[in-house]
């Protein structure tokens, strides 16, 4: 299939994806106001729908490996594009992200995110936001579920190295929860920007959990090692070779 044809298919898919988001927002608007369970179902339904549509519209299959956790743990994932957000959330029973505060104002995405328990943080004030969130959890005000964080703080293109920030380590230490790392190769097919989506199999993999109790610096080093090593392996499996060592 030529690049031009795949680009057109990608354009149709992207348009469909945002149209579907609007439909879900309208259909589930009242149930979401009334119930967090409805919000979780609506968000997971949208994630499942996008993955199903990607398979037949653009030839991009989505595969989840490993065992998604169902207890209250910290989930730390590789972030390459919007697709890993969709796949991770769709695989968890009650996931909730640490998200940029600006996303609160995005139609559907922001409002539904807050209803499922996502924690908005401001760029440049992340430390304060994490301290407040830890305090809320300790006081019993936070909603239960799997707390999802991207340790690098933003989407990182395949093959690019970026430092792991302190947020995941602080949460791991303060919450006293196990951490489940998640590796991914989705950026090989679905870039952080642009319309084009490639054919293939996008994979996220839930890796063996890191038990609570490690010292923060040692935890951060281990987290980076296991996520980056396995993500690089998954990207090479997908045919991507330009990986910085």
Domains and CATH numbers, the chain: 1-238 (3.40.1130)
Q: Which DSSP letter does residue 151 get?
A: T
* pLDDT at residue 1, rounded to an integer: 65
Question: Which residues of the chain, if any, have pLDDT below 50?
Answer: none
pLDDT of residue 120: 78
pLDDT the model gives residue 114? 81
**Cα R_g (the chain), whole angstroms:** 18
Q: Per residue in 137-190, pLDDT tens?
A: 666 567 788 999 999 988 999 989 999 998 899 889 988 999 999 999 999 999
206/226 Cα distance (integer angstroms): 11
Q: How many Å apart are CA 197 and CA 137, to the nearest integer?
A: 38
Alpha-carbon gap, residue 212 to 215, rounded angstroms: 9
CB 152 within 8 A of CB 164: yes
Please name the residues in contact with 68: beta carbons below 8 A apart, sequence gap of 6 or more.
91, 92, 93, 206
Q: Which helix (H) or strand (E) holds 167?
A: helix 167-175
Does the model's pTM come out above 0.85?
Answer: yes
Cβ-contact 212, 176 below 8 angstroms:
yes
Look at residues 128, 215, 116 and name the one whose alpha carbon lies nearest to residue 167. 128
């Amino acid at each position: 299939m030529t690049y031009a044809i795949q680009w057109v298919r990608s354009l149709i898919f992207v348009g469909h994806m945002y149209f579907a988001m609007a439909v879900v927002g309208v259909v589930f608007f009242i149930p979401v106001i009334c119930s967090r369970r409805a919000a979780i179902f609506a968000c997971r339904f949208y994630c499942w729908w996008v993955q199903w549509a990607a398979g037949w519209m653009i030839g991009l299959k989505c595969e989840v490996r490993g065992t998604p956790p169902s207890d209250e743990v910290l989930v730390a994932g590789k972030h390459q594009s919007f697709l890993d957000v969709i796949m991770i959330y769709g695989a968890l029973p009650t996931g909730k992200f640490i998200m940029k505060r600006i996303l609160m104002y995005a139609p559907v995405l922001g409002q539904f995110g807050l209803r499922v328990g996502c924690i908005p943080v401001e760029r440049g004030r992340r430390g304060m936001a994490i301290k407040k969130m830890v305090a809320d959890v300790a006081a019993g005000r936070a909603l239960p579920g799997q707390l999802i964080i991207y340790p690098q703080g933003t989407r990182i293109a395949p093959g690019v190295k970026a430092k792991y920030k302190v947020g995941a380590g602080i949460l791991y230490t303060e919450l006293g929860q196990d951490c489940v790392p998640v590796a991914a190769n989705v950026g090989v097919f679905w870039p952080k920007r642009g319309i084009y989506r490639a054919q293939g199999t996008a994979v996220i993999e839930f890796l063996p959990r890191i038990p609570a109790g490690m010292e923060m610096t040692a935890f951060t080093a281990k987290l980076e090692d296991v996520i980056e090593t396995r993500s690089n392996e998954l990207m090479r499996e997908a045919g991507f070779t330009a990986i910085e060592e």
